[in-house]
Amino acid sequence: MMGKGLLSSDRARSFKERSGRVFLLLCALVSVATVLLISLFIFQQGLPMFGDVPVSQFLFSADWRPSGDPPSYGIASFIYASFVVTFLSLLLSTPIALAAAIYLAEFAKGRTATILRSSIELLAGIPSIIYGLFGIAVIVPAVRNTFGGNGYSLLAASIILAIMVLPTIINVSEVSIRAVGDELRQASVAMGATSWQTISRVVVPAARSGIITAIVLGLGRAVGETAAVLLVGGNAPIFPTSPISMGRTLTMNIVTDMSYAEGTHMSALFATAMLLFVFILALNLVVVSISRRSRMEA
């Protein structure tokens, strides 16, 4: 006969086991809950605006006069500025990032690899406010002296962003280049191709989906970045006509007015955040579908 004590201790153990499991599951669900709550709150605050302002006016009017009479809440200039800044920054950073990823995955050895890799990691670690400060002190005067204007411009913001997204693009594309099978490389070299031909015609095309993922991730970072662009972008609520004109991005718009906005104005800021949030979610879906498709191809 089994002792009663042993049985109950078994039960206690299995109870502990089960409650431990539930506790861990709850902790794992915090992230999901946070995402859901964030969406809930942002939408709850942002959606009421559309009672006062039609969607088309919000998205397509470039007239942002929240304190005007009548007030006007069009964020087209901010959408455009965000687009310009993101596009320019990716244009500047992608070639450098790809080169670094190729170099790290294919050539770098020993100390050079360590130096390059540590530098990229440290670049990723520098806070965005520091990039902003550096931007004001170095990039803004450089833009002013080279292209004219007052220097606080979309171009200055793009340059800073280009540096900031470098590590993201480098890391993700390096991983995907590394993942390309060695037999592909060997086959290419055996056919008499030079290493450049191998890289440009075999390795990079094979790593295509990973590289695209990297760029999309960089795009997400660039669109959402606030502190650095806020300091160098000029933050003027106008429709930017050239890269060297001042501009206000979506994120800048949210930060700038939040401290004093009320009513529909406040709601319009949350609607701006809503747009940004939806865009970031869409980018996530893009990343997921790219990786799924590449897995299916493989």
Partner 1 sequence: MLFEKKKQLTNDVALTIIKVLSFLAVALLALIIGYLIFRGVHKSERTESDVLPLSTLADAGFESAEPPVIVIANGKSNIRHLSWFTLRDMALGKVASLRKISSTDAPFFLYVEDSALEEASALLGIESRQIAASGAVVASRDEILVQAKDRKGSVLILSRGKEAGPADLPSGFREPVLDLYVLAANSSVVQLYGNNRVGTLSSDDVVGLLSGSVSDWSLLGGGDIPVDVLDAQKLGEQAAVRELSTREGSTAVMPASWYFHAKQEGLSIDLLKSERIDSGPNITWEYLTQPTVESGKYGGILSIIGNTFVMVALTALVAAPLGIAAAVYLVEYARKGRLTSIIRAGIDVLAGIPSIIFGLFGLLVFVQMFGWSFSLISGTLTVALMVLPTIIRTSEEAIRSVDRSLREASIGLGATRIETIVKVILPSAVNGITTGIILAIGRAVGETVALIYTIGSSTDFVKNLGSSARVLSMHIYLTITEGQSFDRAFASALVLVVVVLTINIIARVLMTSSTRRQRGKSND
State the minimum distance, in angstroms, from the CB of residue 290 to partner 1: 13
Distance, in Å, from the CA atom of 62 to the CA atom of 238, rounded to the nearest integer, reads 8
For residue 127, how many other CB atoms are within 10 A of its CB? 10
State the minimum distance, in angstroms, from the CB of residue 69 to partner 1: 27
Give the HSE-up count for residue 100: Cα atoms under 13 Å, Cβ half-sphere: 23
Would you say 54 or 127 has its CB closer to partner 1? Answer: 127
Distance, in Å, from the CA atom of 151 to the CA atom of 144, rounded to the nearest integer, reads 4
For residue 271, how many other CB atoms are within 10 A of its CB? 26
First to last CA, the chain: 58
State the minimum distance, in angstroms, from the CB of residue 182 to partner 1: 19
Would you say 108 or 184 has its CB closer to partner 1? Answer: 108
Would you say 20 or 205 has its CB closer to partner 1? Answer: 20
Would you say 57 or 226 has its CB closer to partner 1? Answer: 226
State the minimum distance, in angstroms, from the CB of residue 73 to partner 1: 17
Cβ neighbors of 185 (< 8 A, separation 6 or more) are 198, 202, 203
